[in-house]
Structure 1
Amino acid sequence: MARPQMGDERRDQILEAFEKCVIRKGLAKTTLTDVADESSLPRSLVRYFVGNRADMVDLLIDRMIERGDDGVAKLRPKSRPMTTHDLVDFLFDNTFANDVSNSVIGELWYMAERDNKISKRLAAMYGRVIQMMIAQMETDGIGASDRQRRDAANMILSLAYGQASFLDLGLPDMTTKTGREFARVIVSNLSTPSKKKTPNKETL
């Protein structure tokens, strides 16, 4: 029986090969045989470590989530608490600046239109990002309500994803810096929670 560490290494090797195949051929046309050839492993071994094609898609989404979590962990400043602006910068400079991830996400979006399971998994993945931003805004005292924070997080995520998509199309004057600056404006313009006034003793 393979040791867990060896299993993880094989799984990473196979998923990396899967990503390359998806970028080159598209998700719909990538087969287990393609992945086996790309990873230089027997097809039977690919199935042993990652299961069937649907299982491999699930693992690929897990891999993207782990990649994002690792990035956030590395993002955390050592000399000060993390801020909402740090998360905004991370979205534009890391999450949506990774060409491999963007290409894979594009393929997953295409498949999500036809596969309800993939659609739900993508929604959950982006939901994690939105919840992270909402929690950070609340920690920073930004936004007068959960609804306002959620709306802001939705708009920032839409801006980051949309800009990355347009960059892939080669549209001129579409720069990450501009999108990030507008996202920061959204955060800066949020109202802050109103503070309850302490009653004056004379009015009691």
Structure 2
Amino acid sequence: MTIIRFLFNTVTNDKIGFDMARAKIGNERKEQILSAFENCVLRNGLEKTTLQDVANEAGLPRSLVRYFVGNRSDMANLLIDRMIERAESDLKSSLLDNNKPTLNDLLNFVIDGAFSNEKSNSIIDELWYLSEKNNDIRTRLAQLYSLIQTQIIDEMKNEKIGKNLTDRKAFAHTVMSLAYGRASFEHLGMVSAKGATKKLIDAMLNSLQ
């Protein structure tokens, strides 16, 4: 290997290492800022949270917050990305022991786990409020719920449940509505009958078979 080639490889490897380190720091900063944003939203509400609030919570200059995550609207979209990733992670963790989850496994997850994270629920409530004025956030929230609904619809098709796609969509939508409603009442401190919800879902499922 010539000296020139050696120097070229050394510089190239150093640059790759530097770029990887910079990307890692960038991701860590972004996570730090989004965690601070979550805390501010939980404490102050989404509409009242400012970039300066987030900067103070994260212990970073306001300019650095804007550099890594953009403006407040950009942060709201990143927050939804985080909620989607969290939902995917919760779903995978819940079904970890089952390589091929059944429809019943998915339904149990929706009833017991999909809306059990109070922190996520509170943030989503704030996003719901903002979605009334922001079409982009409304679309992104729909993606969050579609993630689980699509899993239910696909598994219904695999197990040959429901006459057509319309039946499966209606069932999945109803299941999500019941589960979200039950979790919302629990959040308000009202007693909810999980068993009754499950029986109602089972009755609907039997009518489709």
TM-score, normalisation: structure 1: 0.85
Residue type at the aligned position of 1:165 = S
Bigger Rg, which one: 2
One-letter code aligned to 2:71? N
Match in the other structure for 2:112: 93
- Listed as ranges, the matches of 1:60-99 within 5 Å are 60-78=79-97, 81-99=100-118
Q: Which residue of 1 aligns with 2:65?
A: 46
**Distance in 1 between the 2:105 and 2:173 partners?**
17
Change (3 A) 1:175 1:45: farther
**2:27 match:** 8
Rate the CA distance shift 1:51–1:82 in 2: closer, same or farther, 3 A.
same
Is 1:170 aligned to residue 170 of structure 2? Answer: no
Q: Bigger shift: 174-183 or 162-171?
A: 174-183
Aligned AA (1:190):
L
Which residue does the alignment assign to 1:125? 144
Cα shift at 1:181: 4.1
Report the Cα distance in structure 1 between the residues aligned to 2:146 and 2:76, rounded to whole angstroms: 19
CA contact (8 A) 1:11 1:50 kept: yes
Matched, 1:34 2:34: no
Aligned-partner SS, 1:104? helix
- Inter-partner Cα distance in structure 1 for 2:90 and 2:152: 15
What letter is aligned with 1:39? A
Deviation at 1:80, TM superposition (A): 5.2
Number of residue pairs aligned between Structure 1 and Structure 2: 190
The one-letter code matched in structure 2 to 1:186 is: M
1:59 matched to 2:78? The reply is yes
2:205 to 177, 187, 190: 187
Task: Name the structure 2 match of 1:201.
Answer: none
Matched residue SS, 2:27:
helix
Quick one: structure 1 residues 178 and 98, their matched pair in 2 at CA, closer, same or farther if it must change by over 3 Å? farther
State the shift of 1:49 in Å.
1.2
Mapping for residues 100-115 of structure 1, pairs under 5 Å: 100-115=119-134
Matches of 1:7 and 1:32, distance apart in 2: 18
Partner Cα distance (1:186, 1:58) in 2: 35
User: In the TM superposition, what is the alpha-carbon distance from 1:77 to its structure 2 partner?
Assistant: 4.4
Deviations 1:150-194 (A, max 9, x none): 1100000111111111222222x3144443443344334322xxx
Rounded to whole Å, the distance in 1 between the matches of 2:98 and 2:42 is: 39
Letter paired with 2:108: D
The secondary structure found in structure 2 opposite 1:189 is helix
Instruction: Give me the TM-score of the superposition, normalised by structure 2.
Output: 0.83
- Code of the aligned partner of 1:136: E
Query: Match of 2:208, SS?
Result: coil
**Could you give the per-residue CA deviations for residues 84-137 of structure 1, whole angstroms, max 9, x where no partner exists?**
111112122222010011101111111111111111111222222211210011
Segments of 5+ residues of structure 2 without an aligned counterpart are 1-18
The one of 134, 157, 162 equivalent to 1:138 is 157
What is the aligned-residue RMSD (CA, Å)?
Answer: 1.8
CA pair 175-17 structure 1, distance change in 2 beyond 3 A: farther
The answer (yes or no) to whether the contact 1:91–1:160 under 8 Å persists in 2 is yes
